[in-house]
Amino acid sequence: MRNLLITALCLVVALPGVAQTVSPKPSRLGLCAACHGETGVAVMPGAPNLAGQRLDYLRAALKHYRDGSRDVPVMRAAIGPLSDAELDAVARWYSVQIPAAAKL
């Protein structure tokens, strides 16, 4: 009985961390979180949710903002200071987040 209790307690403590361990939180996430939220659920009106979006789609979108073929000044400015590796890290992070239910 005591072991069962300890096992249950360990599960409760460990579970909230599971999503975080899939991919480490990128160091530059704060630059994006102001609009897209830490978990990819947008906190600014007009900013899209990114949670659960396909990794290749996110990567392509970031590339298009960077080279100007998708000409959105706010996104160009936001990704300007990030290296390719840092952009890849935030794209990976957002792709493994759990999407929010639509608010209609």
Distances (CA, A) of 39 to 9, 66, 91: 26, 22, 11
Nearer to ligand HEC, 35 or 100 (CB): 35
Instruction: Select the residue whose beta carbon is closest to ligand HEC and give its number.
Output: 32
Written as one string, the DSSP assignment of 15-74 is GGGHHHHHSPPPTTHHHHHHHH-TTS---STTPPP-TT--HHHHHHHHHHHHHTSS--HH
Q: How many residues bind ligand HEC (CB under 6 A)?
A: 21
With H, G, I as helix, E, B as strand and everything else as coil, classify residue 82: coil
Binding to ligand HEC (CB under 6 A): which residues in 27-66? 31-32, 34-36, 44, 46-48, 50, 58, 61-62
Taking the complex as a whole, how short is the minimal distance between the CB of residue 55 and ligand HEC, in angstroms?
A: 10
DSSP letter assigned to residue 103 = -
Does 100 bind ligand HEC (CB under 6 A)? Our answer is no
CB of 85: closest distance to ligand HEC in angstroms? Answer: 13
- List the one residue from 41, 51, 82, 89 that touches ligand HEC (CB under 6 A): 82
